[in-house]
């Protein structure tokens, strides 16, 4: 099974969300509505594993920054403000001298984005494994979701693509929090580009039950078109809505279609981003 199929398989086994849980598996964050509150909470978690999501020769600061940035990007995609994070860190005992530098990288980004470190867990392990949970908030009912793109909407990206793939995934991601907040009430749907345009646009179209045409793409300097189409980890936002939104218009939602057909310059564009279980 591919990762997409796994998630769909799991989702079918779960009962429908109920109570204070407004949205469960299948978007960038879950949405929880506390009793009586004026805000909805957004919850997301991101795993990073040595040798899979980063190389062992990366600096500890880089790893700390990237771990938090990936989860913050999910909060940005829902239009939220980050509030707190929990940091689970499993490292070899020999890595203990680097834990300080790891937290230096993480805490710098936490300060810049108003994210408080509220807890976590530590363990020894053979390889470095990091799981970072971020809890964010958004005014009640205002979270951006990936399942509400509509035929006729323009499709936008927030910046040039393929930069991270070109740099062999060594870029320091910048979560688009301010842009995400500015899209609340304006964009119809939003998702972050973590795994690649082709797979993330497919996810958005499938969740919304629409098809899409991509006509042009902003390709990062030095990157190939292939890297812009399928490279992951750019952490730009991909969103839909009326004409005149900020960002770069790349195409249009063209019709209702449960099969989520996507074309790029009139050729079919198949989802081909990173898949852990393909």
Q: Contact residues for a copy of itself (CB under 8 A)?
A: 1, 3, 6-7, 10, 13-15, 17-21, 24-25, 29-30, 32, 34-39, 41, 43-47, 49, 51-53, 83-84, 86, 88, 90, 93, 96, 99, 103, 107, 116-127, 129, 131, 133, 135, 137, 276-277
CB of 151 to a copy of itself, least distance (A): 28
Question: Which residues have C-beta within 8 Å of that of residue 188, sequence separation ≥ 6?
Answer: 148, 149, 150, 153, 239, 240, 241
Shortest distance in whole angstroms from residue 37 CB to a copy of itself: 4
Quick one: three-class SS letters along 16-37? CCCCCEEECECECCEEECCCCC
The C-alpha atoms of residue 43 and residue 132 are separated, in whole angstroms, by 11
- Least Cβ distance, residue 9 to a copy of itself (angstroms): 8
Q: Which of 48, 108, 117 is nearest to 86 (CA)?
A: 117
Q: How far is the CB of 91 from a copy of itself (least distance, A)?
A: 9
Question: Minimal CA–CA distance to 143: which of 74, 208, 66?
Answer: 74
Q: Is 185 helix (H, G, I), strand (E, B) or coil?
A: coil
Task: For a copy of itself, give the closer residue by CB, 73 or 211.
Answer: 73
Cβ nearer to a copy of itself, comparing 133 with 272: 133
Report in angstroms how near the CB of residue 57 gets to a copy of itself at its nearest: 18
CB nearer to a copy of itself: pick between 121 and 215: 121
In the complex, least distance from residue 256 CB atom to a copy of itself, rounded to whole angstroms: 27
**Which residue lies nearer to a copy of itself by CB, 23 or 205?**
23
Q: How far is the CB of 89 from a copy of itself (least distance, A)?
A: 8
Looking at beta carbons only, is 14 or 259 nearer to a copy of itself? 14
The residue among 120 and 151 lying less far from a copy of itself, judged by its C-beta, is 120
CB of 34 to a copy of itself, least distance (A): 4
Q: Cβ closer to a copy of itself: 123 or 221?
A: 123
User: Based on CB atoms, which residue is closest to a copy of itself, 7 or 249?
Assistant: 7
């Amino acid at each position: 099974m591919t990762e997409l199929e796994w998630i769909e398989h799991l989702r079918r086994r779960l009962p429908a969300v109920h109570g204070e849980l407004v949205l469960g598996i299948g978007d960038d964050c879950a949405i929880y509505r506390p009793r009586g509150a004026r805000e909805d909470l957004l919850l997301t978690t991101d795993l990073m594993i040595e040798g899979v999501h980063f190389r062992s020769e990366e600096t500890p600061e880089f790893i700390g920054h990237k771990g938090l940035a990936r989860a913050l990007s999910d909060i940005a995609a829902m239009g939220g403000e980050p509030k707190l994070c929990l940091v689970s860190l499993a490292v070899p005992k020999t890595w203990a001298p680097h834990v300080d530098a790891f937290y230096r990288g993480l805490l710098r980004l936490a300060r810049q984005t108003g994210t408080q470190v509220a807890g976590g867990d530590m363990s020894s392990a053979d390889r470095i494994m990091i799981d970072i949970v971020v809890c964010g908030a958004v005014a009640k009912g205002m979270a951006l979701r990936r399942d509400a793109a509509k035929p006729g909407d323009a499709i936008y990206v927030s910046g040039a693509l393929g930069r991270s793939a070109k740099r062999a995934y060594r870029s320091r991601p910048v979560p688009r929090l301010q842009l995400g907040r500015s899209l609340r009430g304006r964009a119809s749907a939003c998702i972050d580009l973590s795994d690649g345009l082709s797979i993330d646009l497919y996810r958005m179209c499938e969740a919304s039950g629409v098809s899409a045409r991509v006509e042009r793409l902003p390709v990062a300097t030095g990157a190939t078109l292939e890297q812009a189409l399928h490279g992951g980890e750019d952490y730009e936002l991909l969103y839909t809505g009326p004409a005149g939104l900020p960002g770069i218009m790349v195409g249009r939602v063209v019709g209702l279609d449960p099969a989520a057909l996507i074309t790029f310059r009139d050729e079919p564009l198949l989802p081909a981003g990173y898949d852990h279980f393909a």
